[in-house]
Each structure stands twice: as C-alpha cells, then as structure tokens.
Amino acid sequence: MEESISLLTMIKNSFALGEVDIRTYSPLTLAYIGDAVYDLIFRTAVVQRGNTSPNKLHIRTTRYVKAPAQARLVEAILEDLSAEELAVYKRGKNAKPYTMAKNATAGEYKRATGLEALVGYLYLTDQMERVLFLIQTGLSKMEE
C-alpha cells in the first residue's frame, strides 16, 4: 500500500526547506499561516459542494472564516484541546495584533487569532488530521 505524503512535506521537499523549531515562532506567525490553512479548508469544502460563481463561493466561505464564526468554533472545542494545544491557543489569543477585524469585537478577534495560531501550529507540525477533527467537532457542537 502506498503511503501518502502531506502537503507540508511536499512543500518542504520542493523548496528544499530545512527543519525548524516551531516553538521559536511567534504566535502571530503561527496565526498568519493558520489563517491561510483554515481558509483553504473551508474554500475546499465549499468548492467541492458544487460549481457556482466566485461571488457565491466567497459568500458561502465567509460564513465560516469570519472572526465571529472562528470565535464560536474555538469556544466549542476548548474542552477538546490537549494541554499543549491550549497553550498555543492562549499564546495566540493573548498576542498583540497590529490590526483588528472590521466586523468583530476585540474579544472575537483575539479568540479567532488564537484559533488561527493553533491551526498554524498543527499544520506546521504535520497534524492536519487533528486540525480537521477539531474543526469537524466544533462545527458539530455549534449545530447542537
């Protein structure tokens, strides 16, 4: 049976990137990459549900990726986080951002930044299955 290679591994190999100590990354750096990964997950899910105009795709995606939605999702999964994951989330939440979201409270924006830092950390440590599990768990809990 053929073992799959993660996107992260393919990127590292393609660009000849070495290993780094992820613990040295600032929480805002983790949030930067986490934002892109989180967005890609939801864009992929929306696109896979059917072909439509880019505007409709954007509207469907933003329901999930806006700071208030991210804040609700992370609140739903807090009890499911390991001690290490919770520490990464808190570092991201407590970081001093350079900007604020237009349509979110300061608290929502901070919680969203914490979630993005966590997603970035899990992505950079090649734990995408855990990212997807946490997102699915959060969405399920939000629907209850």
Express each pLDDT in 89-99 by its tens digit.
Answer: 999 999 987 77
Tell me which residue has tokens 């890609």.
Answer: 40
Question: 0.75 exceeded by the pTM?
Answer: yes
Closest Cα to residue 37, out of 132, 102, 114, 144?
132
The Cβ of residue 62 has, within 10 Å, a number of other Cβ atoms equal to 14
Active site residue 39: no
**Residue from 21, 35, 39, 126 carrying the catalytic annotation:** 35
The domain defined by 7-143 folds into: Ribonuclease iii, N-terminal Endonuclease Domain; Chain A (1.10.1520)
How far CA 113 is from CA of 3, 21, 59, 127, 137, in Å, comes to 33, 21, 21, 19, 19
Express each pLDDT in 25-81 by its tens digit.
Answer: 999 999 999 999 999 999 999 999 988 899 999 898 898 999 999 999 999 999 999
Q: Which residues contact 8 (CB under 8 A, 6 or more apart)?
A: 123, 124, 126, 128
